[in-house]
Amino acid sequence: MAAQKLAKAGKKVIVLEARDRCGGRIHTIDKESFFKQAELGAEFIHGDLPATLNLLKEAGITYYPATAEMWRYQNGLLTRESFFADDWHLLLGRLNALNKDISIEAFIEKQFRGKKYDTLKNTVRKFVSGYDTADPHKVSAFALRKEWQGGDSDMQYRISGGYGVVIKYLEKEFDMLALEGLCTLVPPSYIENFAEKYPKTFNALKYKEDKWKAKWPWRSIGDYYIISFKKKSNQNTGDDN
Ligand SMILES: Cc1cc2nc3c(=O)[nH]c(=O)nc-3n(C[C@H](O)[C@H](O)[C@H](O)COP(=O)(O)OP(=O)(O)OC[C@H]3O[C@@H](n4cnc5c(N)ncnc54)[C@H](O)[C@@H]3O)c2cc1C
């Protein structure tokens, strides 16, 4: 969306992506495994958010009020669940009383001692790392308090056809320039100290990878990707942005 705005303002924009698709944590799979679209990431518009709703209006994409139930499939059984742990109200209450900002990990460790709060603490950790992609040891308790307090008061919406249609709309305005696969040959960073331990092998693999990374099939294989896009020519300015 930022790229679209910059390009509309006549700026040159290149979008770099670390995956072989656009959208990041917005990822709708369409009838691949389910009878209709399924969201692997963002699903709801949490409230009357002008930036999102204006973009939908511009794209002619409709949305509708959302209701939801939560179900878990485990060991062949479907069970109904609540969105938040039973002690969530207690968590919000104690967060509200917090005067000095600390990390959410420090907060739950301090405020919820003992095994009986393990479920609550693990829910917080999973939610923060999964939903916010934040590190519980670093993320501000004040920031999460603000996010969680506002959560239920607004109307929630779902986008017709899934969040992915917004990405498709934005993508239409760009041409793909290049796709490169990274760590197709070079071991990825989670294999620690490989370069230091085996410098010769590392350099040989890196040399080959640098040569091949933008070529088929290596550009579509890898632990990470760089996709470069260019805004299609802009009819308003005559520029090739
Ligand atoms: C399961 C789940 C459910 C969610 N539900 C909702 C919801 O209902 N409503 C809602 O509003 N939000 C929801 N969110 C949050 C929402 O998806 C994110 O806030 C939003 O997508 C963030 O967008 P972003 O562009 O800032 O970051 P991201 O979507 O994370 O995009 C960042 C992009 O940068 C790329 N990248 C990372 N490092 C590099 C690098 N070094 N070089 C090049 N590219 C790089 C990544 O591949 C990624 O594509 C949910 C998130 C998850 C995970």
- DSSP secondary structure string, 137-199? TTSBHHHHHHHHHHTTTS-EEEETT-THHHHHHHHTTEEEEEEEEESSSSPPTTSTTHHHH-H
- Distance, CA of 24 to CA of 1 (rounded, Å): 12
Tell me, what's the pLDDT at 167?
94
**Residue 66 placed within a domain:** no
**Residue 196 placed within a domain:** yes
Number of domains in the chain: 2
Q: Which of 92, 127, 149 is the last residue of a domain?
A: 149
The reply to whether 145 and 103 lie within a common domain is: yes
> Ligand 1 — pocket residues by CB below 6 A?
16-19, 24-26, 41-44, 46, 130-131
**Residue 54 placed within a domain:** no
Q: How far is the CA of 24 from the centre of ligand 1 (A)?
A: 5
**Residue 60 placed within a domain:** no
Ligand 1: which atom is nearest the Cα of residue 19?
A: 47
Q: Which domain holds residue 144?
A: 84-149
**Residue 241 placed within a domain:** no
**Coil, strand or helix at 59:** helix
**Residue 27 placed within a domain:** yes
Q: How far is the CA of 132 from the centre of ligand 1 (A)?
A: 8
Segment-wise mean pLDDT, segments of 10 residues, the chain, 241 residues: 85 78 89 78 89 94 87 87 78 94 96 92 90 92 88 76 94 83 85 90 93 85 80 54 43
Amino acid identity for residue 116 in this structure: K
**Residue 74 placed within a domain:** no
Query: How does strand 44-46 pair with strand 38-39?
Result: unpaired
Read off the tokens for 28. 């709708």
The reply to whether 179 and 226 lie within a common domain is: yes
The reply to whether 143 and 187 lie within a common domain is: no
pTM: 0.68
